[in-house]
Structure 1
Amino acid sequence: MFTIPETRFHFGGDEYIFAEISKEMSAESNFKALAITKELRSRKIPGVLDICPANASYLVRFNPDIISAYDLLDYLKEIDIIKSKPAELNLSIRIVEIPIWYDDPVTQEYSRRFKDRHQDPSLTNFEFVMKKNGFRDKEAFIEVHTTMPYLISMMGFNPGTAWEFQLGLPREKMIQTPKYLSPRTDTPKQAVGLGGAFTAIYPVSGPGSYQLIGMSAAPVFHKEQQLKDFKQSLFLARPGDLWKHCSVTESEYQRISQEVEQGTYQFKIKELDFSPEEYFRKGRSYILELMEGF
């Protein structure tokens, strides 16, 4: 049995309630935030305008002329009690395969371009992350980053940015790294970055401070919605989904990029029901069960 943290509620002006499940990120806190916000959306409470889950919290924006803060708080406390039971945290999610060209020339060039903002200007970002995590072999590092899937714990920053938190590994074995000392003024679209215990794929070019370790061959934000997997949304990520990284060669990267350009590329996706209760009981073996045939 695992313990689900108790939620603390805070008012933010006249239109917001902030629910803090825990001070730091944990899979337990995130599963609770995802389950609560899913239930809250399904209730379609009049006056609720926005519902934003985060890593270990969530934010609700409401119209105080339609629903009072204290009436909404009563709803939230009721849902919180229900979702404090492990059996009530189940989610319908997808596993999505993300093709990545690791240690590629583009992110190597950005490492050199912004080395004056980095902790160790003598190393590329990829080399720095390997060193920080005790890896000497490139393939061993890639294996750890691709073997177990990552939970999409929240979205934000830029449109389509998703924070990924690895499942199936104890925290001390997760790849972790500090961010840049001072953020870059530019980051290439589809660059794969690491900051803390999180992986993130930059949906568009722009500033950033995560260590760059590769390039995604396919977009995670597609405003043209030309690709089949973006017909329902501009964004690939959905909070609660699992992303499974897959290492690709330069030629495979170029082939996928061409398919994206032609509008024919499709992500490998598997839909499934996820039980946090089973995950915390079985751990890695449960994740491997879910990925059978994927």
Structure 2
Amino acid sequence: MLIFPETRFDFCGDEYIYAEISKEMRIESNFKVISITNELRKRNIPGMVEIYPSNASYLIRYDPNVISSHHLLDYLQEIDQQKSDRSELHFSSRIIEIPVWYDDTITKKTTEKYQHQQPEAGGNDFTYVMKQNGFSDKDTFISAHSSWPYFITSLGFQPGMAWGFPLGAPQDKIIQAPKYKSPRAHTPREALGLGGAFTVVYPTASTGSYQLIGISAVPVYNLNQTLSIFRDSIFLAKPGDLWKYRPVTEAEYYNIREEVQKRTYEYKVKPIQFSAEQYDEQGSEYIRQLMEGF
């Protein structure tokens, strides 16, 4: 049952209001964050400059010369009350397929340089995560990780990086892993990382601390907007999207990479309407219904 604690609002300097839906990370809180921030964009309130949704909170930047902080707070509290009703937690979304070469040689070369982080797995992040989650068979692990879609809760750390939480998976079946004790100096572009219960795709080469278990064959960040899906944004992810990871072989990975380079690759996308109320009532069965035909 969706029950929310009272939202805490704080003024941050002269230009920001911070709203905390809940102290702990709950996927239900994120449904509310996305519903509220979508509603704020629709209203296009004069003086509101930027909206920053996060896992269980959001931040609003405003122009105090156009709207007073207390006037804006009235808007936020009114919308917050409306979105505390689970029937109001619904929004347009997309299921997007991300082809992934799991246990690849590219990220493996990187992780071998950090063997001291998990010596029991020989510096291999993929093997380490398998063992951490009780798997002994590679294919079984890959199937388990790629079985459920990952709900994009927020973007951050670097441009285009999106946090995905496995939606519909039973609590005791969610694959998790600790982050590195100290960050890597290098992470390959499009590496697939796992930290806690969240899976991410690193948009560009960067530092990083998530366990690397594969590599995406397609970009999630396209500065030059050379692929059609990036026509409206240089970022693939939007909060509320569902990413479905599809395991591919090494040969398939390089074939897709060639299509991307030729600008002929078409992402597999299914537009959906997501209802938190239906998810609350039906759980994994609702996710299966959304995934039908995909």
TM-score range relative to shorter protein: over 0.9
1:61 positional shift:
0.6
Unaligned runs of 5+ in 2: none
1:121 positional shift:
6.1
Aligned mates of 1:136, 1:158 — CA distance in 2: 33
The letter for the 1-side match of 2:21 is: I
Q: Deviations over 1:193-219 (max 9, x none)?
A: 000110000000010000000000000
Aligned mates of 2:169, 2:8 — CA distance in 1: 28
Q: Residue in 2 aligned with 1:40?
A: 40
Q: Residue in 2 aligned with 1:291?
A: 291
1:256-275 equivalence runs, <5 A: 256-275=256-275
The letter for the 2-side match of 1:55 is: N
The letter for the 2-side match of 1:158 is: Q
Aligned mates of 1:189, 1:291 — CA distance in 2: 28
1:94 paired with 2:97, answer no
The answer as to whether partners of 2:34 and 2:53 remain within 8 angstroms in 1 is yes
Q: Residue in 2 aligned with 1:158?
A: 158
Aligned mates of 1:6, 1:149 — CA distance in 2: 30
Secondary structure of 2:10's partner? Answer: strand
Aligned mates of 1:142, 1:5 — CA distance in 2: 37
Q: Residue in 2 aligned with 1:57?
A: 57
Q: Deviations over 1:123-149 (max 9, x none)?
A: 400011111111111111111111110
The letter for the 1-side match of 2:110 is: Y
1:47-86 equivalence runs, <5 A: 47-86=47-86
1:1-294 equivalence runs, <5 A: 1-118=1-118, 120=120, 122-294=122-294
Over 3 Å counting, the alpha-carbon distance change for 1:62 and 1:120 in structure 2 is: farther
The answer as to whether partners of 1:118 and 1:182 remain within 8 angstroms in 2 is no
The answer as to whether partners of 1:178 and 1:196 remain within 8 angstroms in 2 is yes
Aligned mates of 1:246, 1:62 — CA distance in 2: 41
Secondary structure of 1:75's partner? Answer: helix
Q: Deviations over 1:61-112 (max 9, x none)?
A: 1111111111111110000000000110111100000000000001111111
1:173 positional shift:
1.9
Q: Deviations over 1:214-266 (max 9, x none)?
A: 00000000112111111111011011000001000011101100000000001
Aligned mates of 1:5, 1:283 — CA distance in 2: 21
Aligned mates of 1:36, 1:152 — CA distance in 2: 16
The answer as to whether partners of 1:119 and 1:181 remain within 8 angstroms in 2 is no
| TM-score between both structures, scaled by the size of structure 2 | 0.98
Count the aligned residue pairs.
Answer: 294
The letter for the 1-side match of 2:265 is: Y
1:6 positional shift:
2.6
Unaligned runs of 5+ in 1: none
